[in-house]
Amino acid sequence: MITFAPGNLRIPRWTRPVYMVAAGLTDFRKRYPEKKLEELCMMAFRMLLEENDLKRDPLDVKGHINFACYGEFADHFQDQLLCEAKVHDYLGLDLLPNVGIKTGGATGGSTMLVGATTIASGMSDCTLVLGWERMDEVKTWTGNYYIASAACKDFETRLARNYASYYAPMARRFQEMYGVDERVRAEIAVKNRGYACSSPFAQQAGHHTVDEVLSGEIVSDPLRFLECCAMSVGSAAALLCSEELAFELSDNPVRLFIAGGSHTLRTGDRRPMRIPLLPHETEEGYRWLYDEMQKHDGRWPGFESFGAARFAAYLAYGMAGIQNPIEDLDLVETHDAFTISDLQTYGDVGLAPYGREQDYVTSGECYLKNPRTGQQGKCPANLSGGLLGTMHAVGATGIFQCGEVLWQLQGKYDKFHGDPALWSRYGRQKPADWQSLQVKDPRRGLAISHAGVGSHVTCAVLEKGW
Amino acid sequence: MTILNDKVTLNTAPAVIDEIGSAWVVHNPRFGPEGTHFHTYGLLTPYFRGLTEGKLRATRCINPGCPVGNGNGDLWLPPRADCPDCHQPMVWQEIDNPRGYVYAFTHVARGGTGLEIDCPYYQIDVKIEGVGTILKSYLVDRQPIKIGDRVRARFHTGADATHTCLDLYWELDA
């Protein structure tokens, strides 16, 4: 049993507020031989400087940058250590300081977190956060070999060398303990890949059906092909500022709160503990769940939930003053590398009680347009298309998520997804049936960045700052 | 290696081991002999050595001052040399005739490059009697399984040993 001392539960108190004013993306592809990695990073950097309605010329904005934080998941893929130095030079940022950040699948989120602390501490007034991944130098199954290096080398890597096979037992256990209908998992794949159809950045958009997902090839039982994200290439960037500079550069800067949690890499080593409660939850409210767990030799977080995500949400909600996530949040980007991790996350971040995640999805509140009510869902999820539909160029992912939430809060979904010129920039044609996925007047959004079967998770709350 | 038509087999040669002091250092060839990684099992060597002798060894904390174990901590598998709760060295304990049940599982249809287990097979997470943690391993049987199925430990020993975690596997306990 893990227990916390009071000191462990301190809510972070930043010295000064942190704002996000701009984002930039490349499009994302499984293979991108047309451009070198640095050239892709320049694409994201230029969009950040030139297309976010900043009130200064791009080079003037660049003249404010004090620090850069770079996210890259795995050096293996490119056979290049210190890629940060190459990118930094290519963006013309020498001799400014930069650091590289690595926390597996949560690398993008952790890069945002470290970038935010450079602003919060006064180290920097303006920090570039930029991430990338280039996974196309090797064949897919060798890529899986590399990614499986993020399982425990001594005790687990040799048992699959394919990361889906480390999530799949969690899916199996979650499904059987909570009586999850696999059609609900499939529905998540259909929804997120469907939303990707509105994104010019998306790598694997598609209008699928639940039956199509369920009849697909199995990657690792019970996860099917369309329930898993793909190898991806691309870059994402964010610009973080102090309050004073944020309003100097932008009429609609977004306040950023971000925190993280972590848990051991081996799921089976996660010892039982009491659920750390969010502000809207009570111990009494989970009595039924503890009773239920006893019947199945269950434990929290066990294989069903992500303790690191719960801890990150606990800290971030404390920072941002979130009292009840389903009421206080207007949209969320989950780390849907696999359908099961999307489902599990709703309990971790308190959008649904633990054990009721399936009911939350079938309630329709995770849709932009709730299929049950025809009204806007309470907290639409992964309107960006998520990892399943749009991208998982790992080091860029958590930054991409924050960028998509930023644009939603600024009311710029259409600007960054509906402009035919943007589609053609990436060699794509805007679909005739394109639909706007702009949330109506959102105030706050959430972005969850997640690594290694839940080893590292960051939780970012973005809030309208104007 | 074990060769039974309906059983899962391995497609690997035994890893070369150097014994340096009390530690096993396993060779992980990457780019031929000059590009081999020499990976130590360190203080966990008794675990890997034990597998090749048909023994499953776990660790536990016996420090009376440990705030969690209070001198009688749970068994850890995978083992660890030091207690995470009090930081004192743990002690080894052999588990006789290890048995448990399938806590979670997946059917691996295809693994990544370099996988040494012949697909398809069940990767299983085993709740072992008397052990606090849940150990990831694989099942030698290929017939359909479910959560709760009883299993018992088996080992690749002697000349069959790979000197890796693959030396422990499980079979259905009828």
Domain range spanning residue B149? 17-172
CATH number, domain A19-138+233-249: 3.40.47.10
CA–CA separation, A182 and B131 (whole Å): 31
The amino acid occupying position A207 is H
Per the CB < 8 A criterion, the answer to whether B145 and B139 are in contact is yes
Predicted confidence (pLDDT) at residue B2 exceeds the cutoff of 50: no
Using a CB–CB cutoff of 8 Å, tell me whether A31 touches chain B.
no
Chain B stretch 3-32, residues whose beta carbon is closer than 8 A to a beta carbon of chain A: none
| Confidence at B5, pLDDT banded by 50, 70, 90 | low
Nearest to B112 among A144, A171, A266 (CB): A144
Contact B112 A148 (CB under 8 A): yes
Predicted confidence (pLDDT) at residue A334 exceeds the cutoff of 90: yes
ipTM beyond 0.85? yes
CA–CA separation, B106 and B55 (whole Å): 26
Residue B94 in domain = yes
Cα dihedral A344, A346, A350, A353 in deg (nearest 10): -70
Predicted confidence (pLDDT) at residue A271 exceeds the cutoff of 60: yes
**pTM of the shown model:** 0.97
Nearest to A162 among B110, B124, B132 (CB): B110
CA–CA separation, A439 and A452 (whole Å): 31
Using a CB–CB cutoff of 8 Å, tell me whether B118 touches chain A.
no
Q: Which of chain B's residues have a Cβ under 8 Å away from the Cβ of A221? A: 106-109
Cα dihedral A345, A348, A349, A353 in deg (nearest 10): 100
Contact A1 B68 (CB under 8 A): yes
Which tens digits make up the pLDDT trace of A37-61?
999 999 999 999 999 999 999 999 9
Which tens digits make up the pLDDT trace of A158-191?
999 999 999 999 999 999 999 999 999 999 999 9
Predicted confidence (pLDDT) at residue B4 exceeds the cutoff of 60: no
Per the CB < 8 A criterion, the answer to whether A271 and A154 are in contact is no
- CB contacts < 8 A (A, B): 116
Shortest CA distance from A156: residue in chain B: B136
Which tens digits make up the pLDDT trace of A402-416?
999 999 999 999 999
Contact A268 B112 (CB under 8 A): no
Predicted confidence (pLDDT) at residue B1 exceeds the cutoff of 50: no
Residue B27 in domain = yes
Q: Is B4 exposed, middle or buried (0-12, 13-18, 19+ CB in 10 A)?
A: exposed
Q: What is the mean pLDDT of residues A184-203?
A: 98
Q: Which of chain A's residues have a Cβ under 8 Å away from the Cβ of B41? A: 154
Nearest to B107 among A144, A221, A303 (CB): A221
CA–CA separation, A188 and A210 (whole Å): 9
Residue B30 in domain = yes
| Confidence at A15, pLDDT banded by 50, 70, 90 | very high
Nearest to B104 among A160, A161, A172 (CB): A172
Shortest CA distance from B127: residue in chain A: A268
Pairs from A202-209 (Cβ < 8 Å, separation ≥ 24): A202/A27, A202/A28, A202/A385, A202/A389, A202/A390, A202/A391, A203/A27, A203/A28, A203/A29, A203/A30, A203/A230, A203/A232, A203/A389, A203/A390, A203/A391, A204/A30, A204/A230, A204/A388, A204/A389, A204/A390, A205/A385, A205/A389, A205/A390, A206/A389
Residue B151 in domain = yes
Using a CB–CB cutoff of 8 Å, tell me whether A453 touches chain B.
no
Q: How many domains does chain B have?
A: 1
> In whole angstroms, how far apart are CA A315 and each of A10, A130, A148, A322, B34?
8, 24, 29, 10, 48
CATH classification number, A257-464, choose in 2.40.50.140, 1.10.10.410, 3.40.47.10, 3.30.10.20: 3.40.47.10
Residue B2 in domain = no
Which tens digits make up the pLDDT trace of A71-107?
999 999 999 999 999 999 999 999 999 999 999 999 9
Domain(s) labelled CATH 3.40.47.10 in chain A stretch across 19-138+233-249, 257-464
Mean pLDDT of chain B: 94
Omega of the bond prior to B120 within 30 degrees of 0, cis? yes
Chain B stretch 39-68, residues whose beta carbon is closer than 8 A to a beta carbon of chain A: 39, 41, 44, 68
Residue B26 in domain = yes
Q: Is A142 exposed, middle or buried (0-12, 13-18, 19+ CB in 10 A)?
A: middle
Which tens digits make up the pLDDT trace of B108-163?
988 888 999 999 999 999 999 989 999 999 999 999 999 999 999 999 999 999 99
Q: Which of chain A's residues have a Cβ under 8 Å away from the Cβ of B114? A: 145, 161
Q: Which residue, among A154, A163, A224, A299, would best test binding to B if mutated, counting the most B CBs under 10 Å from its CB?
A: A154
Q: Which of chain A's residues have a Cβ under 8 Å away from the Cβ of B124? A: 169
Nearest to B136 among A222, A266, A271 (CB): A266
Which tens digits make up the pLDDT trace of A104-158?
999 999 999 999 999 999 999 999 999 999 999 999 989 999 999 999 999 999 9
